[in-house]
Amino acid sequence: MGKKNDYLGLPVHSLKGVGPKISILMERKGIKTIEDLFYFLPIRYEDRRHLRKISEIKEGEKALIVAKVVASKSLFFRHFRKKAYEAIVDDGTGSISVKWFQWISQYLKNVCRKGNILLLSGMVGKFGNRLQMVHPDITILEDENEIEAYKAIVPVYSEIEGLKQGTLRNLIKRAFEDYGGHIKSIVPAEIEKLYGLVPLYEAFLKLQFPDDDVSSQTSSLELLTSLRHRYLERLIFEEYFLFQLALLMKRGEVKKEQGINFQAKGAYYNRFEKGLPFKLTSAQKGVLKEIEGDMVRNEPMNRLLQGDVGCGKTICAILAACIAIDSGYQVAFMAPTEILAEQHYLTIHRVFEGMGIPLTFLRGNMGKERREVLEGIKKGKIRVAIGTHALIQEDVEFEKLGLVVIDEQHRFGVIQRKLLKEKGSGVGGQRSEDRVRGFEGSRVQGEEVKDVPVDFQLAIRNPQSAIHSVPDTLVMTATPIPRTLSMVVYGDLDVSIIDEMPEGRQKIWTKVFLDKNKNTVYGMIEEELKKERQVFIVYPLVEESEKVELLNAKEMAAYFQKSVFPSYRVGLLHGRMKAEEKEATMFRFKNRGIDILVCTTVIEVGIDVPNATMIIIEHAERFGLSQLHQLRGRVGRGLHPSKCILITSEKKTALATKRLKVMEETTDGFVIAEEDMKLRGPGDMLGVRQAGLPHFRVGDIVKDVNIMIHARKVAEEVMHKFTADDVVKINEKVMERWENNIHFSDIA
């Protein structure tokens, strides 16, 4: 920061009137630069043109008064069982009572300190025979005359401790006078015109200094508020536009690399497709078209495939693998855990073995055999290698790797994906042979997925070929997220969506039960067990401090075994177990060595147990809908009808119960994801509150979705118009704004 000519990036103390003391106060509020100050927008406006005297105001009207606090105290209304805070204010013509209920903060008490002069705006009411205002908008004034000097519609800012509103207002004004001329949009002028966007400077100006615009007596606060909307949208657009440009540039970088021109579908592809015992859904066909289109193109594919569990993603990935193999290339297939990798291996083995395609499962503990297998991959004898992410982490050498399929399942490992970087080879213009691609580790409700590497290296060696072509990448995820959100999270990837289930798939019967009806649920469990089916019982993670309140998986497993289902085998699976223990337990469950598996969310990862037909989720209100949907996907994977039971306590709010009802109504992961996002916000929904989403200054990802879509569209249109100089500047801006969130290659 603080580059030449970057006036907006100057620290706030560059401003006359801002010394070290005010600097510190501002910094506490996140205001460091002149630009931050411009972005510190009013939270509301106050019409100070029509000040009233207390002696004139009447019950039932809205009024603005200036008065001095003469007394204040806490109250308790026994009758309503309500706490309140009251201040008596006087303006020389009379006095009224001002009251606040609930949230009574120290801040409020400070505001109401005796002697303070307050500007109060609100509805006039009556309590007994005294006039009162309840929860008025309130501003501390420096003195009684301040209002006379500034009779206008004024901006009101979120409180900065130790800094008066009037002072702040003057400082922002000064910043505008001194530096406002340097406000410059990254949106090209002709595009602003084309889309009717007001100039950025104007948007800031109108938001910060409304009185310039509505000084006439006829303008109303309402009019102002509606205008504000338009100017705010302009700022949001600016922010989203920059963000989308960043993602597109990032994507463009990948596309510039030398990829592989695969041939169109060949013999293996056709043979595999013909052999399928079912017809592909039209969603699958569409996706395959997109994948094939990418693969035959010279640019490396960088595609994300989203779709609910069981929608047929793996089949699509196998068909993509066929395209690579048809063209004489190798395929690497990776999953986050060994058990999932093995599952993939078994599926793929079934089809490729018969087609004469040599493949291998690179296990963790292979012993001596490993060398031989590695040799086979290096020599190209083995065409498909399946394993965990260690597959590419540990310098496995391929003869001719063409396609990497990554099964991310539910984990949003892709979110903080750093851009694949090339380790410079030193020789001018030559491609390096390694690509480094970082994936951030993720947490599942606090349970660390320990067996997944946080960062891994994609070390690809094609010793035989002179040019090192970058293989195509296909990432699969079974966690649908709202389309608009995927534009933010996966904006640098091409996204394919399968939003259709194969025909004849049975819906998982889902029902919300109250705690007190647990016995009914136990009866239902018993019915399943009698049919020799298996059951999952899931508990939320237990934090130490909550132990008393929540049922703990461990204790419940013991209880079920001893007191409820003594003649069945109860198993336990939780995140604190060692990886090998977990895998062993899962393996036993899969092989019917366990009837009831009591577990925490560790089972979320796409484990396939076709004989499990029932899942019970305790304290269901503690989970996000998307997570419940993931959990529900653990059943219904075989031929038998399956059930999902969500248990919640009657003590929980109506809202919590209503939320759970969404699960009864739909099994569409995208619908559930939308609901989840509306209810919990995008960060929480993804379970990546701390690490995940980029922070936006003015935009709200949920509310301002349409602006994001628009920004994306415009960014795509104008991408090519930027000069190299522009790109450098844009890059700098992006780094300043989101350096921790989007990792950007050096474009210049």
Sign of CA dihedral 192, 198, 203, 205: positive
CA distance 572 to 414: 30
Residue 281 partner contact from ligand ADP, Mg ion, none using kind-dependent CB cut-offs of 5 to 8 Å: ligand ADP
For the segment 246-305, give every residue that binds ligand ADP (CB under 6 A). Answer: 278, 280-281, 284
CA distance 214 to 587: 71
Least Cβ distance, residue 416 to ligand ADP (angstroms): 24
* Runs of H (alpha helix) within 137-220: 146-149, 165-179, 189-194, 200-208
Least Cβ distance, residue 269 to ligand ADP (angstroms): 15
Q: Which of 94, 125, 266, 310 binds ligand ADP (CB under 6 A)?
A: 310
Least Cβ distance, residue 502 to ligand ADP (angstroms): 3
Residue 552 partner contact from ligand ADP, Mg ion, none using kind-dependent CB cut-offs of 5 to 8 Å: none
| Nearest partner of 356 among 276, 268, 266, judged by Cα | 268
Nearer to ligand ADP, 97 or 306 (CB): 306
Q: Which of 42, 307, 480, 491 binds ligand ADP (CB under 6 A)?
A: 307
Contact 136, 3 (CB under 8 A): no
Nearer to Mg ion, 473 or 627 (CB): 473
CA distance 395 to 739: 29
Q: What is the binding site for Mg ion (CB under 5 A)?
A: 259-260, 295
Q: Which of 11, 188, 502, 641 binds ligand ADP (CB under 6 A)?
A: 502
How many Cβ atoms are within 10 Å of 464's Cβ, its own excluded?
A: 10
For the segment 558-617, give every residue that binds ligand ADP (CB under 6 A). Answer: none
Contact 312, 279 (CB under 8 A): no
To which H or E segment does residue 707 belong? Answer: helix 705-718
309 is a contact residue toward ligand ADP (CB under 6 A): yes
Nearer to ligand ADP, 315 or 541 (CB): 315
For the segment 204-223, give every residue that binds ligand ADP (CB under 6 A). Answer: none
Residue 380 partner contact from Mg ion, ligand ADP, none using kind-dependent CB cut-offs of 5 to 8 Å: none
Residue 484 partner contact from ligand ADP, Mg ion, none using kind-dependent CB cut-offs of 5 to 8 Å: none
Q: Which of 187, 260, 311, 609 binds ligand ADP (CB under 6 A)?
A: 311
Least Cβ distance, residue 669 to ligand ADP (angstroms): 11
CA distance 623 to 620: 6
Q: What is the chain's length?
A: 748
Contact 659, 621 (CB under 8 A): yes
Apex CA 544: angle with CA 653 and CA 562, to 5°? 85
| Nearest partner of 562 among 570, 573, 572, 550, judged by Cα | 570
| Nearest partner of 264 among 315, 319, 322, 323, judged by Cα | 323
Report the amino acid identity of residue 610. Answer: P
Nearer to ligand ADP, 490 or 565 (CB): 490
Stretch that binds ligand ADP, among 153-161, 180-188, 309-317, 696-704 (CB under 6 A): 309-317
Nearer to Mg ion, 260 or 537 (CB): 260
Stretch that binds ligand ADP, among 73-81, 140-148, 312-320, 464-472 (CB under 6 A): 312-320
Sign of CA dihedral 304, 310, 313, 314: positive
Q: Which of 12, 154, 301, 315 binds ligand ADP (CB under 6 A)?
A: 315
| Nearest partner of 69 among 116, 14, 30, 37, judged by Cα | 116
Least Cβ distance, residue 344 to ligand ADP (angstroms): 9
CA distance 102 to 111: 16
- β-bridge mates for residue 32, sequence order: none
Nearer to ligand ADP, 48 or 634 (CB): 634
Least Cβ distance, residue 318 to ligand ADP (angstroms): 8
Least Cβ distance, residue 348 to ligand ADP (angstroms): 11
Least Cβ distance, residue 273 to ligand ADP (angstroms): 11
Residue 26 partner contact from ligand ADP, Mg ion, none using kind-dependent CB cut-offs of 5 to 8 Å: none
Nearer to ligand ADP, 404 or 537 (CB): 404
Nearer to ligand ADP, 195 or 278 (CB): 278
Sequence-distant (6+) residues with CB within 8 A of 289 are none
Q: Which of 132, 244, 314, 343 binds ligand ADP (CB under 6 A)?
A: 314
Nearer to Mg ion, 323 or 616 (CB): 323
Apex CA 644: angle with CA 563 and CA 558, to 5°? 20
CA distance 406 to 414: 10
Least Cβ distance, residue 406 to ligand ADP (angstroms): 13
Least Cβ distance, residue 84 to ligand ADP (angstroms): 56
CA distance 442 to 605: 12
The token duo for 162 is 């130790």
For the segment 457-496, give every residue that binds ligand ADP (CB under 6 A). Answer: 478
Contact 386, 407 (CB under 8 A): no
CA distance 235 to 95: 43
- What is the three-class DSSP state of 443? strand
Q: Which of 48, 251, 313, 632 binds ligand ADP (CB under 6 A)?
A: 313
Least Cβ distance, residue 417 to Mg ion (angstroms): 19
CA-to-CA dists, residue 632 to 183, 310, 513, 542, angstroms: 51, 12, 15, 20
Least Cβ distance, residue 276 to ligand ADP (angstroms): 8
- Size, binding site for ligand ADP by CB under 6 A: 14
Report the amino acid identity of residue 191. Answer: I
Residue 22 partner contact from Mg ion, ligand ADP, none using kind-dependent CB cut-offs of 5 to 8 Å: none
- What is the three-class DSSP state of 400? coil
Contact 86, 76 (CB under 8 A): no
Residue 103 partner contact from Mg ion, ligand ADP, none using kind-dependent CB cut-offs of 5 to 8 Å: none
Q: Which of 42, 136, 312, 540 binds ligand ADP (CB under 6 A)?
A: 312
CA-to-CA dists, residue 400 to 145, 376, 380, 433, 458, angstroms: 80, 12, 7, 13, 14
Nearer to Mg ion, 404 or 688 (CB): 404
Least Cβ distance, residue 707 to ligand ADP (angstroms): 32
Residue 259 partner contact from ligand ADP, Mg ion, none using kind-dependent CB cut-offs of 5 to 8 Å: Mg ion
Provide the binding-site residues for ligand ADP, judged by CB under 6 A. 278, 280-281, 284, 307, 309-315, 478, 502
